[in-house]
Structure 1
Amino acid sequence: MAEAQAAPAAAPTAAAPLAAAQPGSRRGLALVLMVASGGAALGYQIVWTQQSALWLGHESAAVLAVVAAFFGGLALGALLLGPRIEGSARPARWYAGCEAAIGLWSLALVFLLGPISGSLLDLIGAQPSPAWHWAVAFFGTFLLLLPATAPMGATLPAMERVLARMAGQGTPIAALYAGNTLGAVLGVLGAAFWLIPAVGLIITAGFCALLNLLCAVLAMKLFAEPDCRAPATQTAKASGALLWLAATGLLGIGYEVLVVRVLSQVAENTVYTFAILLAVYLVGTALGAAAYDRWLPRCQAIGMDRLRDRLLRGLAAACLLGILSLAAAETLKAAALNILGNGMAAALAAETMLAIAAFLLPTIAMGALFSHLGTAARAAGISFARALGVNTLGAAIAPPLFGVLLLPLGPKFVLLLVVAGYLALSTRRAWAAPSHWPTAGAALTLAVLAPSLAIIDIPEGGRLLSHVEGPLATVSIVEDANGVDRLHINNRQQEGSSATRLADARQAILPLLLHPAPRRALFLGLGTGITAYSATGDPQLEVDAVELLPEVIDASAHFTRMIDGDPARLHLMTADARRFVRTSRASYDLIVSDNFHPARSGSGSLYTVEHFRAVHDRLAPGGLFCQWLPLHQLDLDTLRSIVRAFQSVYPNSWAILATNSLETPVIGLVARQDGAPIDLTEVRQRLAATATSLNPLAFGINDELALLGSFIAGPGSLTRFAGNAPLNTDDHPVVAYRAPRLTYAPDSLPRDRLIALLHELEISPDELLAAPRESAETTRLAAYWAARNRFIEAGRNVQPMADVRRMLGQVREPLLAILRTSPDFRPAYDPLLRMAGALSRVDVAAARALLHDLQQAQPARPEAAQALHELGGATR
């Protein structure tokens, strides 16, 4: 490309292993190396993003930090090493050395990442300020990856210099860039969809390192030349070319960051989502570079400046179309799923279509524009290394600028700033041409008339109560037509509602009552705040709650204002749960971890062996840990991996149910720091001591049977259930890659998974209680567990009905049979008592018969006898 502008290459010598007379072969081999190198680079990016999330505290923070670190390192490598390569007689050796350095540092990180990330964790601290957190995130990641990213920045310029040596050949910048980017696409997809799920992060990084080392060896064998051309002399146009390169790098990655953020409100935000978005972005860039390489000769008649203006105008128009597609993203996704049907492949295809609509045309224009600017820079005497370095330096600034500082202004406004930036780079001649103004007018029209890109699902008859755009996520409170308020993160993840107060509160009350005398508690994850706030009802307890998103902390006040408690004893901290338990030196009698959605990016790391071990280190002697798990968002195979990870740290652990809900079943994994069993006497004393403060009766816990009756599995049963399921570890994130299957393509109802789970689990008093003896209490407890399982299974096919007689026809005999199994099982008693009250208004005789049956099934309960007495009095 640009053959007329390239200086003649020196004649090859006999020492060259591959004859220069075969330029086509050399170019083809170079492209193969560029594909392999690009694949390794983006494979690293996927691996390092997930590894960095473990100490940065959030997948979004890790994405921004790793992208900035990548481009910063690429820029530094190109700018510092580029001149040395330009003046070297053997650029192939530089290329090979860079590839080797990348591979060797990635191998070194296998051993160094643990201690280095631990030091960075300590440097960030348990509760960093936002400024300090982001500073360490960006600069710490940059320095950690620099020994690999700097040589990455020099590989493309080095190969460009190698090929520029071929006699009579130009410098195929666009072709090399396209090949390198195509390899990046393969690296993203291969790492995310194949390597990491199969073999984990470390082996994937090792595979990428092997590619780098192989590229180094092949380059030394295939390209060995003794001389090089002198660098070209810069012209007066050099400074302008560098400005365009830096600005377009900044705007291009800014557009990517913003689009990913907007689509997080529509896509499922799994590890696959990010891989798809990145792959489409790279595909478009590669296509644009390849198109430019092929069609440049036809465009040269236009003139370099005029062609640049046309590309800038086309890119601005393509971004406008991309913004319009974001505004219609929900409609596009629904239409795609309607065409494609159900299944994980269809769901991933729908996300791919969203990515194509937002990214493909803009990135094709970006790839062509970069290739053009690189060619123009060469014509101005600027080396390709310097052009690449300046472009990637601009790109490195984009994540903190667009993803942190400007994003709170609103994604639509900031995206239109990107469009305006592209238009502003055009020359005065372009602005004087009539063809330039329609794009500017369209941008202005879009700014005024287009809907906001804050995508929020508001049900019919509902309303939006609040919406905040934070650096890591958007947080909304939406009220439905029935007055139920729900907390949403990124419009996708429901964090609780005003209708789930009882269930949310029980997730605090149950573990609180299982500890004999807690004085300090830690809650990981806040959500609506109902769970942590409910714990403050215990006057002896100080409660710490950590939440990553400050916007969630602010929103929680809306849900906790109506709950009894002592806010003075609730200490809310903006912190990452993983990082907090690893860096804090405090000890806690009780730690309760929220039921984080396992499929969402980053959540799987809260269910790993390493995290569970860190929690164990924060437990005081005799302390208790409860990890809640959302079975309505979790398949049983993924649950097995989590259970096995939990038991690897807490072998003497149990499982409990938060409620008997069939729609949103939540189970808890419970263990004590010392592995000791539950003392029945301590449980009774604890219930008596909290009868007034915590009021367990209000949460359906009227005695020790109701409390201990929530257990569903003992240690042996959990071990058998987990079997040989793969451990969920930081290196092998099984949950992150397996859990999305259920999110994309649900294959069962939550109630069916709960009943299937109960069939696999079992518990006996001797697995739970300290020194149990065969007694009336243990017999009653075993009966209670049996009744509970029958109650859940009986509700599987019950259909809610307004007609009390028809409803009673479904549940009367099953519930009475359950009461005969365990007269203590109150959840089967109360529904029948309520139906008797409703029935008494339409059929007194039937109500009296039902109350009589209730009295016989549970004679110790006074409510049925009292209702019979009142009913008898009312009919006289």
Structure 2
Amino acid sequence: MYQLSLIFGNASYATATTLATFFMGIAIGGWYWGNKSVKIKKPLFTYGLIEIGIAISGLLLLPAIEIYKGNYNLLYSVTGGNPYWIILLKFLFSTFLLIIPTILMGGTFPLLSKYVGKQRKNLEKRGTVLYTLNTVGAAIGAFLTGFYLIEKFGMQVTYILAITLSFSVGVLAMILCDKFKNKESGLPIKLDAGPKNKVEESDNTVYKNHLSTPQFIILALSSGFLALSLELLLFRMFAQVLQNSVYSFSAILVVFLISLGFGGIIANRLAQTNYGSKEILFLFLLFSSLTIGISPIIFNIYTDGLEYIAPYASWPVYLVEVFKLSISIVVLPATLLGTIFPFLLKAAPLKFREPGKFVGRLILFNSLGSFLGPLLAGFIFLQLFGLWVSIKLIAILYAVLALYISLSLDISKKVKWSFLTVIIIGGIFFIKDPAIVQLRPQEKLLEYWNSNNGVVSITKSENNLQMRLDNFYILGDSESLLVEQMQAHIPLFVHPSPKKVLFLGMGTGITAGASLDHTVSKVVVVELIGNIVTAAKKYFSSWTNGLFTDDRVDILKDDARNYVLGTNESFDVIIGDLFTPWHAGTGSLYTVENFQQIKKTLNPGGLFAQWLPMYQLTPEDFNTIAATFSSVFPQVTVWRADFNSTRPSIALIGQDLNAKLAQQSLKENISKIFKNNRVEKNDAYQHMVGLFYIGNLKVLKNNLDNYILNTDDKRVVEFKAPKFSQQANALQGKYLVGEELEKLTEMITSELPPKSDPYLSELPPDEKKYIKVGMLYSRYIEHFSKGKENEAKLVEQQIKKIAPNFLK
């Protein structure tokens, strides 16, 4: 998944195609190897061969991905960029990559089941232990990979380690098979269930302690469908109050898997009792329904109405709080769910006597359900019903399954338990849903949209309209109108003649709309989340300068990186949005490989502007991104979008080595904009760009050489930024705002003053002085905003000496 996200993109449909292929392969493998296991005399030896096969076929993934990346633009052009054909293409490619290893994976559990349980009685006890150990191993793997291995060693080494482990397990299994070859077959153990065991069960015969064939199939299918659906919905629920980094979701996954392992232990104990299997399954299904149904209420209470979790805690304390939240919400329902699948080894119809074959059937139906779950939950339930109702729906479906099982019990239990189930279904249905967005005082929720990619909301407070993603991630607002416009104007002022412009990320659309004031011939806007486009068009159209109606504009719902990889178009200016560095998956937008692909997409003399939210970056984050950016672009200059002291934004603009800022084209570009906006030209507007220029990044080269570059293999930003961010929140570090940003800009300017900066060599001295004015004005705003009037007056005097009319 981690590898394929780089080429499939982070769009939900791309993830779904990978998951679909994965579970499809597991389903086929379970069915095929389950049937084949009947004739296999050495299941442990065959299991070893399969593990080796998984390792070899998995190894082929790496060169195949490189071939795909190298030819993706050709395939993109053949399909004409049609999203439906692209989805089909990705599905076929993921099938090609994953079908062999996943079919082999699907055979591992049936073969080991045959080895540990030659007869049904063995399997009921040992198979549940096998499931428990496997699930605990999965939790350990998820923990080590998410919290240590990838960060420490990179993707490639971690992947090779996984392949090596798989290969080693295969070799070990073959050695053990040879060592214990005289013990492997064991003695056949007869079923000990009384005289009825001699009677072959028909599909219409129902025994007290065993399911019928239809019941078995429905429960196997449903357990996969509902568990994977719930997992996806839980991730979406936690996204409303967490940092949403790779660590947050790794923590949730680990707790989920450990809980499933606990369920396996319970199933093992119950398998050794004489309690009725249907009664046990009924109770677990019903209690699963109840715990899932009330989970939103517990979540709302625990988070105090969707408050951000531990916003000012240190990094270790924050992780502890994430695990505590996960445990409080996930453990009970996931443990109950984890009991159902392995307990089916005991509750299966008696006619399923051959362990490997019937385990293969169990995996077949369970994997088919796992294949359908994320698709329906992510693309239908969330879209139609929203998050809270979708969770309720999963809870009610578990209750419906309990009701289905209760109908095959004796009459007294059937009536009482059916009545109890109906009561619980009604109670879940009428539970009041928590709010989807936490509102601040005097704030009103206008509308929100649910999807697999997150919750997009529009809120209003006084005269400000704000767009958010997942409750706390602000995508833009009407109060930031000028700042968002400047994020388009600055790069387009700098380019001599921008005709074709590409925006990676849209947000409110204000930035992209500002480009239409320039003499552009084509504007392409790529936005990952379709609901952002819907929300922007409905609520921000009046500020977007005709973005949604202008014939020059194409708005594409696609992953930014994926679009750049596939397009055959080239652009004069490419502008990257303010991507939150600690957000899971965002680190891939700051890698060497992505910057290189963007550079290839530029026309000769073109430029790329990557805007950075300095209020979310620590010095370490900035230096890593700057070092990575400057390793690709030989000429990098630094610009500001505003003079905001608390939420400043700056851009790294990459160009060719000998690029220079041309005075004449600057004047023409600026005059066109202010003419279009009917703003009277005066001294301040004439020198506008000088005010926003900070300096040349080459002065930091020696300092940046000490930083590890952010690459697809080692995503330093994705794994380091969450830690640095949380430390800054806890006042154990600092964001690049206020005095910290001023220190950075002063260092850049003092090391290479404007008069010596080769990038500014064509500007007259009178223009260069406004670079100093811009620095002073930033300091002036900083003092003024903090109420430091004396300091502000001193800076004001300095500004007047350089540009007497500026502050007017």
- Report the TM range for the smaller structure's normalisation: 0.7 to 0.9
Question: 1:733 maps to which residue?
Answer: 715
CA pair 417-139 structure 1, distance change in 2 beyond 3 A: farther
Question: 1:764 maps to which residue?
Answer: 753
Q: Is the 8 A contact 1:656 1:712 kept in 2?
A: yes
Take 1:387 and 1:697, find their aligned partners in 2: how far apart are those partners? Answer: 75
CA pair 90-136 structure 1, distance change in 2 beyond 3 A: same
CA pair 632-167 structure 1, distance change in 2 beyond 3 A: closer
Give 2:692's match in structure 1, choosing from 699, 710, 731. Answer: 710
Whether 1:486 aligns to 2:466 is yes
Question: 2:645 maps to which residue?
Answer: 662
1:808-862 Cα offsets, whole Å, 9 max, x none, are 4452223212332x22683xx24xxxxxxxxxxxxxxxxxxxxxxxxxxxxxxxx
CA pair 432-136 structure 1, distance change in 2 beyond 3 A: farther
Take 2:695 and 2:767, find their aligned partners in 1: how far apart are those partners? Answer: 13
Q: Is the 8 A contact 1:53 1:61 kept in 2?
A: no
Take 1:168 and 1:284, find their aligned partners in 2: how far apart are those partners? Answer: 25
Q: TM-score, normalised by structure 1?
A: 0.81
Shift of residue 253, structure 1, vs aligned partner: 1.0
Whether 1:108 aligns to 2:74 is no
Shift of residue 167, structure 1, vs aligned partner: 13
Q: Is the 8 A contact 1:656 1:713 kept in 2?
A: yes
| Corresponding residue SS for 1:615 | helix
Question: 1:348 maps to which residue?
Answer: 319
Q: Is the 8 A contact 1:467 1:476 kept in 2?
A: yes
Question: 1:847 maps to which residue?
Answer: none
Whether 1:559 aligns to 2:546 is no
Shift of residue 329, structure 1, vs aligned partner: 5.5
Q: Is the 8 A contact 2:637 2:697 kept in 1?
A: yes
Whether 1:71 aligns to 2:27 is no
Root mean square deviation of aligned Cα: 3.0
Shift of residue 498, structure 1, vs aligned partner: 0.3
CA pair 463-334 structure 1, distance change in 2 beyond 3 A: closer
Take 2:259 and 2:399, find their aligned partners in 1: how far apart are those partners? Answer: 21
Question: 1:258 maps to which residue?
Answer: 233
Whether 1:218 aligns to 2:172 is yes
Take 1:313 and 1:651, find their aligned partners in 2: how far apart are those partners? Answer: 63
Give 1:249's match in structure 2, choosing from 218, 221, 224. Answer: 224
CA pair 281-770 structure 1, distance change in 2 beyond 3 A: closer
CA pair 471-134 structure 1, distance change in 2 beyond 3 A: farther
1:25-51 Cα offsets, whole Å, 9 max, x none, are xxxxxxxxxxxxxxxxxxxxxxxx222
CA pair 110-717 structure 1, distance change in 2 beyond 3 A: same
Whether 1:755 aligns to 2:742 is yes
1:371-410 aligned within 5 A: 371-377=342-348, 379-381=350-352, 383-409=358-384, 410=386
Whether 1:414 aligns to 2:385 is no
Shift of residue 448, structure 1, vs aligned partner: 2.4
In structure 2, give the amino acid aligned to 1:50. Answer: Y
Take 2:75 and 2:421, find their aligned partners in 1: how far apart are those partners? Answer: 48
Q: Name stretches of at least 5 consecutive residues in structure 2 with no aligned partner.
A: 192-199, 204-211
Whether 1:475 aligns to 2:428 is no
Q: Is the 8 A contact 1:321 1:358 kept in 2?
A: no
CA pair 177-701 structure 1, distance change in 2 beyond 3 A: farther
Shift of residue 437, structure 1, vs aligned partner: 3.6
Q: Which moved more, 1:135-144 or 1:404-413?
A: 135-144
Take 1:697 and 1:343, find their aligned partners in 2: how far apart are those partners? Answer: 51
Take 1:510 and 1:205, find their aligned partners in 2: how far apart are those partners? Answer: 42
Q: Is the 8 A contact 2:618 2:725 kept in 1?
A: no
1:618-697 aligned within 5 A: 618-673=601-656, 675-693=658-676
Take 2:7 and 2:259, find their aligned partners in 1: how far apart are those partners? Answer: 32
| Higher normalized contact order (CA 8 Å, seq sep 6+, divided by chain length) | 2
CA pair 585-308 structure 1, distance change in 2 beyond 3 A: same
1:293-312 aligned within 5 A: 293-297=268-272, 300-312=273-285
Q: Is the 8 A contact 2:30 2:360 kept in 1?
A: yes
| Corresponding residue SS for 2:59 | helix
Q: Is the 8 A contact 1:627 1:670 kept in 2?
A: yes
1:533-576 Cα offsets, whole Å, 9 max, x none, are 01111244432211122221122232231455574133322222
In structure 2, give the amino acid aligned to 1:312. Answer: L
| Corresponding residue SS for 1:739 | helix
Shift of residue 502, structure 1, vs aligned partner: 0.6
Question: 1:596 maps to which residue?
Answer: 579
Shift of residue 744, structure 1, vs aligned partner: 3.1
| Corresponding residue SS for 1:521 | strand
In structure 1, give the amino acid aligned to 2:632. Answer: V
| Corresponding residue SS for 2:448 | strand
CA pair 563-62 structure 1, distance change in 2 beyond 3 A: closer
1:27-176 aligned within 5 A: 49-58=1-10, 60-61=12-13, 63-117=15-69, 123=75, 131-132=84-85, 134-138=87-91, 140-165=93-118, 169-170=122-123, 172-176=126-130
Q: Is the 8 A contact 1:603 1:736 kept in 2?
A: yes
Q: Which moved more, 1:665-674 or 1:683-692?
A: 683-692
CA pair 277-437 structure 1, distance change in 2 beyond 3 A: farther
Take 1:353 and 1:114, find their aligned partners in 2: how far apart are those partners? Answer: 40
Shift of residue 707, structure 1, vs aligned partner: 0.6
Q: Is the 8 A contact 2:580 2:613 kept in 1?
A: yes
| Corresponding residue SS for 2:145 | helix
Who wins on radius of gyration, i.e. which is larger? 1
| Corresponding residue SS for 2:430 | helix
Take 1:620 and 1:662, find their aligned partners in 2: how far apart are those partners? Answer: 35
1:816-827 aligned within 5 A: 816-820=797-801, 822-823=802-803, 826=806
| Corresponding residue SS for 1:653 | strand
Q: Is the 8 A contact 2:33 2:110 kept in 1?
A: no
Shift of residue 694, structure 1, vs aligned partner: 5.7
Q: Is the 8 A contact 1:124 1:132 kept in 2?
A: no
Give 1:512's match in structure 2, choosing from 480, 489, 492. Answer: 492
Take 2:431 and 2:695, find their aligned partners in 1: how far apart are those partners? Answer: 58
| Corresponding residue SS for 1:477 | strand
CA pair 334-508 structure 1, distance change in 2 beyond 3 A: closer
- Of all paired residues, the percent bearing the same amino acid is 24
Q: Is the 8 A contact 2:69 2:565 kept in 1?
A: no
In structure 2, give the amino acid aligned to 1:591. Answer: I
1:493-552 Cα offsets, whole Å, 9 max, x none, are 101100000110011111111111111111111111111101111244432211122221
Q: Is the 8 A contact 1:509 1:696 kept in 2?
A: no
Q: Is the 8 A contact 1:127 1:574 kept in 2?
A: no
Give 1:744's match in structure 2, choosing from 712, 715, 726. Answer: 726
Q: Which moved more, 1:808-817 or 1:582-591?
A: 808-817
Give 1:424's match in structure 2, choosing from 400, 409, 412. Answer: 400
CA pair 730-336 structure 1, distance change in 2 beyond 3 A: closer
Q: TM-score, normalised by structure 2?
A: 0.88
- Number of aligned pairs? 764
Q: Which moved more, 1:124-133 or 1:440-449?
A: 124-133
Take 2:72 and 2:369, find their aligned partners in 1: how far apart are those partners? Answer: 26
